[in-house]
Amino acid sequence: MNLNKHLVTGGIALLTAFSSVAQEEPKKEKGNFINSMSVGGAVGLSLLHGDVRQYKWAPVTKFNSELGFGGYLHISKQLNPVISLRGQFNFGGANGTRRKADEQVWIYSDANYTAATLNVNFNLTRLFVTKPGSKYSYYLSAGYGLVQFRSAAYTLIGNNLLSQYGYERNTTNPNQLGEKASKTTEAVVPIGFGVNYKLNPNISLFGEISGGMVNSDKLDARIAGGSNDSYSLTSVGMTYSFAKADAVEEWEDPLEAVIEEVEDIKTKVDGLTKDSDGDGVTDLNDKEPNTPAGVSVDGAGRALDVDGDGVPDHQDEEISARGAKVDGSGKELDSDGDGVADSKDMEPNTESGAMVNFQGVTITAKGSAAGGVSAGLPAVYFNLNSATIEFKSYGALADVAKYLKSNDKVKLTVIGHTDASGSKSYNEKLGLRRAQSVIDHLAKVYGVDASRLAASSKGKEEPLAKGKASNINRRVDFMIAE
């Protein structure tokens, strides 16, 4: 399976999984709202977290126990396999004891609270994919609500009242509570973590550690420090779901449907992404489904043919001119056999054995003052006072090399020229350096036998132009040696 296939399958699978997890609710009978509802409750031990506390992490159980009784009732609506809303009514007692050796007054506090909250529960087991069908699940909850309480603080020795909230002042006996007054009402933020165990599709047991962060420092009837009070509840409980068995299974194992859909998608993607010849183009779009391994192809899976001669690059022995006629190996046709391809041959019917230049023109000149015959080859030009071959001259040198390889018995005199600036002696040397530079290039780059090339210099003796066109004189010409 190639990378494209992985990306297609993975992308569709992720979209499918997200859609399944984020669905509004499982399939159910139309209008049957109660199918996504559940009720339950829990009881356990509550604990105060405030200023009246002996130890930070452990409760006092002797003399005046800090452990209290608490619990809650709830009604929930499942929104999707991960998220549910829970309306919750909490109740309990929150007791504290403080008997520090360095404090003169040892105290304890009692409080009774009730709270109404709206919580959001997140099912971690369904959110982070685990083994489908597990009876266990884990969840987090958080919410917001209101808590009401009455609280009082006493001396541990003598049981004298120190402070109170939610009671009238006792004018008869200030050391005792007065009549009940309006409860203290504050905001509370509930949080919790629990483990759920499914007995059957409708009944589950759970254990939970939860707490309420109260927006007040009065829960322990003692305002001290800068932090608010809170309470916690360690409880066990039971939940009953009104959903039918098939709906519950869909809540519990939403991934089962996803897995089936992904397998189906995978099968379809296999058909869409199969690439038999491994050229990166799927069989569905491949115009050449049997391309040899390693061959570059275009978007339709066809082997590349950059010169458009009808011969694929991996079988083409040369890059031919656009529109040129070629043989089965991609070489341009040379009908008259003079070594110049038909597309460049200005004399396509040269007689057999005739000597031609790089354009296929027959060389008919006799001798000359240069001691040879003009080869009709392109000149190579140089910059001022330079013997370095410029990139712009590579094309001309390629034509010279092609000519020499097509006429393997020909020897050339390579003649260097200069402009008029400088002394005669210096220019003769510069012309010779230019000629030798051309010979070295032909030998090193094209493998031409250097013995077929002889360096010569005319210096500034045979200029072609004067004045502004003097740059034409800085060149190398080629003559056929006698």
Q: What is the Cα Rg of the chain in Å?
A: 49
Tell me what pLDDT residue 30 has: 41
Average pLDDT per block of 10 residues along the chain, 482 residues long: 47 48 44 79 94 84 86 93 93 90 86 96 79 81 96 90 91 89 94 94 93 93 84 95 69 58 66 66 69 69 62 61 62 64 67 62 47 70 93 90 87 93 92 95 93 93 85 91 76
Predicted model pTM: 0.48
Tell me what pLDDT residue 115 has: 96
Assign 3-class secondary structure to the chain: CCHHHHHHHHHHHHHHHHHHHCCCCCCCCCCCHHHHEEEEEEEEEEEEECCCCCCCCCCCCCCCCCCEEEEEEEEEEECCCCEEEEEEEEEEEEEEEECCCCCCCCEEEEEEEEEEEEEEEEEHHHHCCCCCCCCEEEEEEEEEEEEEEEEEEEECCCCCEEEEECECCCCCCCCCCCCECCCEEEEEEEEEEEEEEECCCCEEEEEEEEEEEECCCCCCCCCCCCCCCEEEEEEEEEEEECCCHHHHHHHHCHHHHHHHHHHHHHHHHHHHHCCCCCCCCCCCCCCCCCCCCCCCECCCCCECCCCCCCCCHHHCCCCCCCCCCECCCCCECCCCCCCCCCCCCCCCCCCCCCCECCCCCECCCCCCCCCEEECCCCCEECCCCCCCCCHHHHHHHHHHHHHHHHCCCCCEEEEEECCCCCCHHHHHHHHHHHHHHHHHHHHHHHCCCHHHEEEEEEECCCCCCCHHHHHHHCEEEEEEEC
Query: Which residue type does 185 have?
Result: T
Tell me what pLDDT residue 175 has: 87
Which domains does the chain carry?
A: 29-243 (2.40.160.20), 372-481 (3.30.1330.60)
Tell me what pLDDT residue 142 has: 96
Tell me what pLDDT residue 264 has: 67
Tell me what pLDDT residue 66 has: 87
Residue in the structure block whose two tokens are 């608490």: 70
Q: Which of 393, 394, 402 is nearest to 475 (CA)?
A: 393
Tell me what pLDDT residue 273 has: 67
Tell me what pLDDT residue 6 has: 47
Tell me what pLDDT residue 368 has: 37
